[in-house]
Structure 1
C-alpha cells in the first residue's frame, strides 16, 4: 500500500482532504497533475546552465566562422567576423566553396551524417521519434562543419548550426542525468532557444520558435525553463556584443490605412513565393537523390553553384547579415536588389538541397526582404498616394517569407520586431505574416522544416490545442446509476442474472461492494463467466487486485492516464466525500464518447440566433 495514499496525498505529492487518507488505504486514486513542481525548478536550473553554454558556443562559432572566412578568402589569420564579399580572388573564388564542401562531405560520411541539413528538422525528428536523444558527437561536429561550410562561402546563416548545437547541448545534458523524455525535450528546446537568442538577441521570438517547432505544446513546465534559458542567453550576448539590434534599420513612420492594406496583400504574395521556394528546395533535393554518386560528394557539386553565384554577386557568399541591413535600410534597390535576391536564392536552394550544413533563417530573410522591397518599390512608384515605404515592405517581406515557409507565425512577427527594434512595424508585420501564413496553409501540406521528416513517415503536429479530455470531468461522462454486485453473492446466482438478461447485466465490468455498500473491487464479465470457476464460489473470490478508482471531479485526462498506469479498462467513480461508495463507472468507451462533443463543436454548424429574434430584442 503506497505511503502517499496512507498520508492522504496523491502520487505527485499534492494534498487531498485529510479525511480521505484512511478511506483510501486500499484504493488506487488518480494522481492530480500540478502545473509545476520541484522537478520543474531543477529543469529550470539546468536550462540556465545550458543557456550560458549555448551563449558561449554561439560566440565561439561566430569567431570560428570569421577565422575560416579570413583564412579562405583573405589569406590572413583573424577571428573577426567579416563578409567574403570584398575578396579579390577573381574566378578562383569558385574553388573556395568547393573545397569547403569536400571537407564537409568527408566529415559527414566519416563523422556523422546527422550534421547534414540546417538542423531544425533533424532536432524535430529526434524529439518526435528518439525521445530527444541527439548523438553526443553531433554537439561537436555540427558547429565545426558549419563553420567550414559557411566560412568558405556557404550561403547560410550561422543561426541554424547554433540552434542545433544548443539543442544538442540540452539533449546531451539530459542524457547524462536521469531525466524523462519530456524533460529532455524541454532541455533540448531550451538550448535551441538559447542559441537563437545568442545569435540575434531575440529572446521572445526564440521562445515562440521553440514552442512552434520543437515543444509542440504551451505548458508551464516546459515554457518556464525555455523562457529562462532565453533570458540567460540574452545576458551572455549582452556581455559579448552589447545591446544593439541584430539588424540596423532607420526609424520609420506610422503607415496609413491604405499602406497597411498594401502590406497585407504584399504578405500574401510573399506567402505564395514561400510555398514556391519550399517546393523548389525539395525538388533540388530530389534531383540530388537521383545522382549516381555517393551523397558525400553532393555538397561539392552544389558548391559549384555557390561559387559561380559568388563570382557574379559576391554578397551572396556567407551568412549575409549585412545584406539584410542594407535591404532594410533602403541602401540597395531596383535591379541590384533583384540581382542579389535572385542569385542568393539560386545559390542557397542548390546548396541546401545538396545536404550542406547551415541555417535557413538568414537566407529566407534575405530573399523575402529582397522580394518585399521590390514589390514595395513598384507600388511606391506606381501609386505614391498610398504612402507605401519600401523599407517597411522589405521588413514585411522578410518576416512573411519565414512565416510562410516555416508556419512559425508568431515567431516571425516578433523576431522581425526584436531584431530591428521598430515597434511601428508590428502592425504591418502582423497583417502581412498572417496573410502569408494563411496562403501557405491553403497551398502546402508540409513546411520547409517538416517536409524532409514527413517524407520519412514522421507525423509532425501542426496544431497546438488544449487537451479536450482535460476540460471534462469524470462525473459528466461516467455511466450512472452504477450496477454493483454484492461481494457475498454466489457466482451461480450472478450467472443466472446475466443469462436472464437482467437490468444492467450487459455491462463488461461491475464494481463489487460489501454488505455496507463499500467498494471492495471490480470484476469483469469474463471473470464471472469463466468456466473454470465453480458456481459455489463467492464474487469476492474473483477480485484479483486492489481497486483503482476515479473521483467524479477528476478530469478525463487524469482518469485516462490512471487507466494506463493501472492497466485497466474501467474505473469505478467515487466522490471525495464518500470515497468507498461507487456512484458511477467510467470505461474506455466513455472516454471515446466524450470526443463526440468536441467533434460536434468543430463540425456541426448551427444558427443560434435569428434576425427576427435579434430585431425583437
Structure 2
C-alpha cells in the first residue's frame, strides 16, 4: 500500500513544523507540487500519444479519417469498431479494481474532495487515472485531457499534504496547486491553470492561496515547456471586430451557446442514466461492451476519434460547410456522452470547446449568407468566441473561459465580443439549469457543494454541551508496539496524541497501527510516526460545523480542542451527537 510506505519516511520535527506553519514552507511545497504536476502532464501527454499511435496507427486519427490503421490494413477504416472495445477491456478492470474514482471526467471528484473531504484524494488515483484516460483517449474515446490531468495533479498535491500532515486549509491549497499545474503544463496556459483552479476547485479562496497556485502553475508550465515546447496546444488565427453591428451578432451567439452548453450537460447524464439502465453485467466489462456502440458512432464520424483538436482547427479556419458542422456538433455531444456513460475516463473541457467551435462556425457561416460578409465578419471569429461561450455555459466558469481563449490567440481585440458572449451564455445557462456540468454529477449523488444548512437541531447547539470525557492521550514518543494494546481496548478506533510538553499533536488510529504491524521496521516506529492531524474541532463550534469534520474522519470520534487549538479538552463521537440532539424532553410535573 502507498500510505504505509510513506510512513516509513522519517522527517525531522523542525522541518515538518516549518513546512506546516511557515509561508515559505507552503511556497516550497507549491513549487514541488508544480514540478510534479508538470512532469505528470508530460508523462500523460506521452501516454496519450503512444496509445493513440498504437490503436490507430496515426499521431491523431481525427486528422487522418480517410485512412485505416496501417498495422491492420485488412480492416481498413472498420478498425474503429473494435478499437474502443479493446481499450475498454484494458482500462475497465483497471479502474474497477484499483480506483473507481478514476472513472468519468474527474473534476467533480476533485471539487468534492476540496469542499467536503479536506482535500484528501487517494494517491493511487494518480497512476490509475493516467493509464485509464490515456487508454480511453488513445482507443477512440471522445473526451479531453483536462479532467484527467486535473485529477492527477490534485492527487499529487493531496499526497504531498498527507505525507507531511499539513492542516486542512493548506491541504486544499496544495490540491488546487496540483490542479492548476496540470492544466498549465498540459495546455501551455499558465493563466488558465490558475483561474481554473481558483474558480472551479477552490471556489472560495484567499490572496495567499492565489499566490501559491500561481507559483505552482508557473513552475508546471516551465517544466511542460521544457519537455513539450512553448507552442500553444491549439493554433488559431487572429480575428478582430470589423463592424459595431457584430456585437449584436456575438450576443446572439452567446444566447445560443448558453442553450448548447446546458444541452451538452443534460444529454451527458441522460445517456449515462440510459447506460446504467441497459447494462446488467459486471462493471469491469462495461467499457468493452459499450465500446462497440461508440465504435459505430466513430465509423460514421471518424473526426470524433479522441480529443479532435485538428478538426476544431479546421472548423475555425472555415473548411467545413454548415451541415457538416452541425453534424459534428451533435456527434460530439453523443460521442462524449457515450464515452463517459460506458465507464470511460476523460475530461469534458475539450469537448465543450469542440462543440462551441462547431456551433460558432456554423453560426458565422449562416450569417454570411444572411448578411453582407463585410458586416458579419469571418466565421472563424464566431467559432473562437463560441468555444469560450459553450465552455462557460457548461462549467459556469466565465473567468477561466475568457482567460483560456485569450491565451490561445493572444489577440486582445477579440476580448470584448468574447466577454459579451461568455457573460450572456453563463446567464442563459443559469436560467436553464441550476447546476454546471461538474456540480450536476455531484448533485445526482446527493451532494450539494453550495448547501448551507442554517436551521435544524445541529445549527445552534455548541460542541461543549455534548462533549464526552477525553480518553487518555498517548505520548508521541511511545513505541507503536506499546500503543497497540491500548488502541485495541479503545472503543473509539482512535486516540489523541500529545507531545512531551502536553501539546496536542494529532490522533493515531487503530487502522494505522494495524497497517504498521505488517511492516518490517515496526519496532522502530513511534506513535508520532503514525500520528495524523485531522481538521480541528473546538469547543465553541456548533455541532453543524463539527459534523462536517467528524463524518470524514477515521475512527468513531475526534478530540475537541480549546480555543487556542493547542490542548484537547474532550472527545466528540457520532453517537454522542445523536444522543444529545434526539434526547427525549424531560417529563413535565403534573
TM-score by shorter chain over 0.5: yes
Contact 1:84 1:314 in 2 (8 A): no
Match of 1:491 in 2: none
**Quick one: distance in 2 between partners of 1:372 and 1:305?**
28
Match of 2:34 in 1: 51
Partner secondary structure for residue 63 of structure 1? helix
Counterparts of 1:503-542 in structure 2 under 5 Å?
Answer: none
After superposition, what is the alpha-carbon deviation per residue over 1:394-427, rounded to whole angstroms, capped at 9, x for unaligned?
0111111110011001101111111222222111
Match of 2:380 in 1: 391
Partner secondary structure for residue 290 of structure 1? helix
Match of 1:61 in 2: 44
| TM-superposed deviation, 1:222 | 1.2
Match of 2:264 in 1: 277
Contact 2:62 2:311 in 1 (8 A): no
**Quick one: distance in 1 between partners of 2:92 and 2:107?**
19
Contact 1:139 1:165 in 2 (8 A): yes
Match of 1:609 in 2: none
| TM-superposed deviation, 1:433 | 0.5
Match of 1:363 in 2: 351
Contact 1:407 1:437 in 2 (8 A): yes
2:306 to 308, 318, 322: 318
In structure 2, runs of 5+ residues without a counterpart are 1-19, 69-75, 453-536, 543-590
Contact 1:40 1:221 in 2 (8 A): no
**Quick one: distance in 2 between partners of 1:289 and 1:239?**
43
1:400 to 381, 386, 389: 389
After superposition, what is the alpha-carbon deviation per residue over 1:256-309, rounded to whole angstroms, capped at 9, x for unaligned?
221012101111111011111111111111112223233333323432232112
Match of 1:411 in 2: 400
Contact 1:84 1:317 in 2 (8 A): no
**Quick one: distance in 2 between partners of 1:163 and 1:565?**
33
Please state if 1:265 is matched with 2:252.
yes
Could you tell me the TM-score, scaled by structure 2's length?
0.70
Match of 1:218 in 2: 205
Match of 1:441 in 2: 430
**Quick one: distance in 1 between partners of 2:541 and 2:233?**
55
**Quick one: distance in 1 between partners of 2:144 and 2:91?**
16
Contact 1:203 1:231 in 2 (8 A): yes
**Quick one: distance in 1 between partners of 2:325 and 2:163?**
49
Contact 1:84 1:318 in 2 (8 A): no
Contact 1:216 1:461 in 2 (8 A): no
Match of 2:419 in 1: 430
**Quick one: distance in 2 between partners of 1:396 and 1:301?**
37
C-alpha distance 38-108 of structure 1, shift in aligned 2 (>3 A): closer
Match of 2:190 in 1: 203
**Quick one: distance in 2 between partners of 1:568 and 1:134?**
26
**Quick one: distance in 1 between partners of 2:445 and 2:276?**
14
Contact 1:402 1:412 in 2 (8 A): yes
Match of 1:31 in 2: none
Match of 1:567 in 2: 540
**Quick one: distance in 2 between partners of 1:170 and 1:410?**
24
Partner secondary structure for residue 236 of structure 2? coil
C-alpha distance 290-243 of structure 1, shift in aligned 2 (>3 A): same
2:177 to 183, 190, 195: 190
Contact 2:35 2:223 in 1 (8 A): yes
Counterparts of 1:48-197 in structure 2 under 5 Å?
Answer: 48-74=31-57, 85-86=64-65, 87-88=67-68, 89-197=76-184
Contact 1:84 1:153 in 2 (8 A): no
C-alpha distance 568-207 of structure 1, shift in aligned 2 (>3 A): closer
Contact 2:241 2:377 in 1 (8 A): no
**Quick one: distance in 2 between partners of 1:83 and 1:198?**
23
Match of 2:222 in 1: 235
**Quick one: distance in 1 between partners of 2:21 and 2:169?**
15
| TM-superposed deviation, 1:243 | 2.4
Match of 1:249 in 2: 236
**Quick one: distance in 2 between partners of 1:256 and 1:441?**
30
Greater alpha carbon shift after TM alignment, 403-412 vs 83-92: 83-92
Contact 2:275 2:341 in 1 (8 A): yes
After superposition, what is the alpha-carbon deviation per residue over 1:18-50, rounded to whole angstroms, capped at 9, x for unaligned?
xxxxxxxxxxxxxxxxxxx96333112111111
2:337 to 349, 352, 362: 349
Partner secondary structure for residue 173 of structure 1? helix
**Quick one: distance in 2 between partners of 1:221 and 1:365?**
31
Alignment RMSD (CA, Å): 2.3
Contact 2:142 2:306 in 1 (8 A): yes
| TM-superposed deviation, 1:197 | 0.6
Please state if 1:41 is matched with 2:41.
no
Could you tell me the TM-score, scaled by structure 1's length?
0.67
Contact 1:380 1:387 in 2 (8 A): yes
C-alpha distance 331-39 of structure 1, shift in aligned 2 (>3 A): farther
Counterparts of 1:317-336 in structure 2 under 5 Å?
Answer: 317-336=305-324
Contact 2:367 2:376 in 1 (8 A): no
**Quick one: distance in 2 between partners of 1:400 and 1:462?**
27
**Quick one: distance in 2 between partners of 1:54 and 1:462?**
31
Q: How many residues are matched? A: 431
